[in-house]
């Protein structure tokens, strides 16, 4: 049971780090290059699969809860990704195969809200505080982040195709 809690906390802490790191980055303009665009989603896919496998291994009776958490996480991740893209501004970066991306306070709030869903689930769902519920819920929140980053990567890829070869527009100071 202690090992379960440790594994659960690792997944939650990793996801918290990723979400908070990218939420803060939303407030700063940044250049996204096409060559590294898919690294985050691939790492998150691997972590999602690892957490799902760990959940199945530790609590085979919890597969139904895991599937539910993954489905809810996937849907919320798609919504999160679409909203992030909707409130993100894209422009030419002046570098080949790259795009300048600027988030906003709205995209920052969306990331924080997406992560808060996991914490809320602990208190709203029956048995949400039970250690055996933690792994499936963490799998779901990592699935949320994974799907959101896949949606975002596709949007960034389209923006790179659109702006990738153009010089940035000069702005007055």
Q: What is the pLDDT of residues 31-80, one digit of tens each?
A: 989 888 999 999 999 999 998 998 898 888 889 989 999 999 999 999 99
Only one residue has tokens 């596709």, namely 154
Cβ-defined contacts of 57-65 (< 8 Å, 24+) = 58/3, 58/4, 58/7, 58/132, 58/135, 59/4, 59/132, 59/135, 62/132, 62/133, 62/135, 62/136, 65/133, 65/136
What pTM was computed for the model? 0.79
CA 90 to chain centroid, in Å, comes to 19
Asked whether residue 168 carries a pLDDT value surpassing 80, the answer given is: no
Domain ranges of the chain: 2-163
% of the chain beyond a pLDDT of 70: 78
Question: What is the overall mean pLDDT for the chain?
Answer: 82
Contacts of 165 (CB under 8 A, 6+ apart): 96
Residue ranges in the chain assigned as alpha helix (H): 2-25, 39-58, 63-86, 105-124, 131-163
Q: What b/e sequence results for 117-130 when a residue is b if at least 16 CB atoms lie within 10 Å of its CB, and e otherwise?
A: bbeebeeebeeeee
């Amino acid at each position: 049971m202690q090992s379960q809690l440790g594994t659960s906390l690792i997944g939650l802490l990793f996801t918290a780090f990723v979400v908070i790191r990218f939420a803060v980055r939303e407030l700063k303009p940044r250049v996204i290059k096409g060559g590294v665009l898919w690294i985050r989603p691939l790492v998150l896919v691997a972590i999602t699969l690892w957490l799902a496998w760990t959940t199945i291994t530790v609590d085979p009776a919890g597969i139904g809860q895991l599937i539910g958490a993954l489905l809810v996480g996937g849907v919320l991740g798609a919504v999160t990704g679409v909203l992030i893209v909707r409130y993100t501004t894209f422009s030419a970066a002046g570098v080949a195969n790259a795009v300048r991306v600027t988030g906003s306070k709205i995209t920052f709030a969306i990331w924080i809200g997406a992560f808060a869903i996991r914490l809320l689930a602990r208190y709203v769902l029956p048995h949400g505080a039970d250690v055996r519920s933690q792994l499936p819920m963490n799998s779901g929140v990592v699935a949320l982040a994974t799907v959101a980053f896949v949606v975002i990567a596709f949007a960034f890829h389209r923006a790179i195709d659109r702006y990738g070869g153009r010089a940035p527009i000069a702005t007055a100071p």
